[in-house]
Amino acid sequence: MSSTSPEAVAGRLYAEPAARTAPAPSPRRPRRLSGVARRAAAPLLLLAAWQLASSVGWLDPATLASPADVWQAFTASLEAGELVPSILTSLRRVLVGLAIGVSIGTVLGLVAGLSRVGEELVDAPLQMLRALPFLGLMPLLIVWLGIGEGVKVGLVVIGVIFPVYLNLHKGIRGVDPRFAELSKACGVGRWGVIRKVILPGALPSFLVGLRFSLGIAWLSLVIAETVNADKGVGYLIMQGQQYLETDVIVMGLVIYALLGLLMEGLVRLIEWRTLPWRKEFV
């Protein structure tokens, strides 16, 4: 048998857990940087292939302008002083539409998700309206709101309401009822259960709906800005279509994509901040 002293054994017993629980250097930052690099690699390769195909003559500039031509159109529009006001106008329309649409969708989702009577009153009409192609409502919106800013913001509002409502309603109804029962057993009231259990549990679904609504908002704006617009990215695209300038058309589409990507990043940041347990996946 080993003649190890009791003091040495006790020392090992206390030292080993400390060694096991010592914090290891976190690989999260290098892994995040490598993830960003991988995300950027595919667009850069696609851009290089696009430029190569244009340079060797595989793509007709009248059909699809090269990235170099698109960049020249971007700089020319920037120097002419029409690009920044157009971007700000489109961004303002989307933000106003999102603010109104997300607010309405959130209220309707809370009413239908937290109350059985509210669901019976709200869900059926909204499901009927959701079955309609909302872009087909443009003629009716023009009659109601005219051809000014109202129809452009209104189309964004209609497109945004449904994904927010559906995901929030599903998130509320998807919270495990045992959590609510446990909270009530601990003496938490109804509003406390809603505020501390149901709403935090539905937050991931709400953020998913918000991300869906961003894509639909920009899609709605592309259509809306073709109606009597004198500013906005859509106006630049229509000008490019009128004069057969594919570089201007592609420039406008790229700006739409970059603005949508920027807002998607902001939602990801909100998700990263409000859902700390999902940082590894966001």
Q: How does pLDDT run across 241-255, given as a tens digit for each residue?
A: 888 888 999 999 999
- Asked whether residue 212 is assigned to any structural domain, the reply reads yes
**What pLDDT is stored for residue 17 in this prediction?**
45
Distance CA 98, CA 112 (A): 21
Residue 132 counted as domain residue: yes
Distance, in Å, from the CA atom of 208 to the CA atom of 215, rounded to the nearest integer, reads 11
Q: In this prediction, what percent of the chain has a pLDDT beyond 90?
A: 23
Q: Domain holding 272: CATH number?
A: 1.10.3720.10
The answer as to whether 38 is a domain residue is: no
Question: How much is the pLDDT for 18?
Answer: 43
Mean pLDDT for 225-229 is: 78
pLDDT mean across residues, the chain: 81
User: Does residue 54 belong to any structural domain of this protein?
Assistant: no
82-91, 151-160, 172-181: the lowest-pLDDT one: 172-181
Task: Give dist(CA 20, CA 206) in Å, integer.
Answer: 39
Total count of domains within the chain: 1
Nearest to 240 by CA among 57, 47, 73, 84: 73
Q: Is 200 a member of any domain? A: yes
Exposure string (b/e) for 225-239, b if CB count within 10 Å is 16 or more? bbbebebbbbbbbbb
Mean pLDDT of 196-213: 88
- 239 assigned to some structural domain: yes
**Residue 152 is part of which domain span?**
64-277
Position 1 scores a pLDDT of 46
pLDDT of 144: 87
Residue 163 within any structural domain of the chain:
yes
Over residues 133-154, the pLDDT tens digits come to 877 888 888 888 888 888 889 9
Residue 227: pLDDT band with limits 50, 70, 90: confident
pLDDT (tens digit, 9 = 90+) per residue, 22-62? 455 555 556 666 666 777 787 888 888 888 988 888 888 88
Cα separation, 237 vs 235, in Å, equals: 5
Q: 180 or 160: which carries more pLDDT confidence?
A: 160
Instruction: Classify burial at 176, counting beta carbons within 10 Å of its beta carbon; exposed 0-12, middle 13-18, buried 19 or more.
Output: exposed
Give the tens place of pLDDT for each residue, 262-277: 888 888 888 888 776 6
Let me know if residue 30 belongs to a domain. no
The confidence score (pLDDT) of residue 276 equals 66
| Between 16 and 118, residue with greater pLDDT | 118
Given a cut of 50, whether residue 9 has pLDDT beyond it is no
pLDDT tops 50 at residue 213: yes
Q: What angle do CA 173, 174, 178 make, to 5 degrees?
A: 95
